[in-house]
Amino acid sequence: MALLRVWEGETSPGAQEITDKVTRESKSAEITRFEGLPAGPAVQESDTLIVVEGRADVLALLRAGIKNVIAVEGTSIPPPIIKLAKTKEIVAFLDGDRGGDLILKELSQVTEIKFVARAPTGREVEELTIKEISKALRNKVPASQIAGRIKRRASASATTRASTSPKRRTRRTTQKTGTQRRTTTRSKTASRSVSRPKRGSIPKPIRELAEKIQQTMTAIILDKDKKILKEVHVAELATILQEIDEAKTILLDGVITQRLVDIADERGVSLIIGARIGNVVKRPVKIKIHTFNDL
């Protein structure tokens, strides 16, 4: 019996680890489809409907125990959501970026939104922890308070683009200097960093792991020998990564964000492969960034 207790204490998975894994799998199994859209099982029976952007956001809310959720899957609002909105109170829970602004604008034009909840600025709903999801929903605000703000922001953005575009065109046509040539070189470098990898350039073990974690909301951190250092939920990836020194490759069934790229750069990571790429403006030259679709 003493040996059994020692074995359980030293080699068996921790209770929290088992609980987390079971919770992830059970919540993933609860996702359904309502007229073709990813949704939670309580979409029709609940008086309140939480509208999010994509399937990964639905999974994130299910993980938090929230089942009255449905995804628009794009910037145009599909008919099923418009139909549901006629009989339900709508809460829009969107990413904290310009994409979230666009969806909110489209949603407000075809439905009556009661409340709006947002992920923190620069972050996406699917990467939030359960605590952060709960906080964002608690802090939701009446849609009437932010409608004007979104319109003003969109108007200011359009004005900025209109005023700066001609200047950029003028500089490109009049400057024929070494500076222009360097700018062209940087542009080509940036394009290469987001192009599809050459066939065979991503090692087979990494491709297989990437396929394995799809639709699981899981992240895997590998060392230079492609050995797994850590396997965690995508919401925990940024925190865990800061504690690991030998990380070289990151695979995640989630959004590659600027915050993740910055941390990866600090930790010496050379390859990131995720479900999709978010609003990543600063791309370190030494890190290759790809999506599952590139493999």
pLDDT digits (tens, 9 = 90+) for 20-30: 554 554 444 58
What percent of the chain lies above the pLDDT cut of 70? 72
Q: What is the pLDDT of residue 156?
A: 53
Asked if residues 111 and 91 have their Cβ atoms less than 8 Å apart, the reply is no
Query: How far, in Å, CA of 56 to CA of 95, rounded?
Result: 12
Half-sphere exposure of 42 (CA within 13 A, CB side): 14
Residue with tokens 């939480």, as numbered in its chain: 50
Q: List strand residue ranges (DSSP E) for the chain, in order.
A: 32-34, 37-39, 48-52, 69-71, 89-94, 113-118, 141-142, 218-222, 228-233, 249-256, 271-277, 288-291
> Is a pLDDT exceeding 50 seen at residue 170?
no
pLDDT confidence bin for 155, thresholds 50/70/90: low
Considering the chain, what is the average pLDDT of its residues?
78
pLDDT exceeds 90 at position 182: no
Average pLDDT over residues 83-101: 90
Q: What angle do CA 15, 17, 21 make, to 5 degrees?
A: 120
In the predicted structure, residue 261 carries a pLDDT above the cut 60: yes
Residue 212 pLDDT > 80, yes or no?
A: yes
Per-residue pLDDT, 21: 52
Q: Distance between CA 57 and CA 124 in Å, rounded?
A: 8
Per-residue b/e over 229-243, b at no fewer than 16 CB within 10 Å?
Answer: bbbbbbbebbebbee
* Average pLDDT rounded to a whole number, residues 25-50: 84
pTM: 0.53
Q: Which comes out higher in pLDDT, residue 113 or 146?
A: 113
Tokens 């993933």, residue located: 28
Residue 193 has pLDDT above 70, yes or no: no
Task: Check residue 162 and give its pLDDT.
Answer: 52
**Tens-place pLDDT, residues 226-252:** 999 999 988 889 889 999 989 999 999
Vertex 88, ends 86 and 93: CA angle to 5°? 110
pLDDT higher than threshold 50 for residue 180? no
Q: For residues 18 and 41, give the distance between their C-alpha atoms in angstroms, rounded to a whole number.
A: 24
- State how far the Cα of 269 lies from the Cα of 107, in Å rounded to an integer: 39
pLDDT of residue 294: 85
Beta sheet of 288-291, edge-to-edge order: 228-233, 218-222, 249-256, 271-277, 288-291
Structural domains of the chain sorted by starting position, each given as residue range(s) with its CATH number in brackets: 12-150 (3.40.1360.10), 202-294 (3.40.140.20)
CA 250 – CA 64 distance, rounded (Å): 24
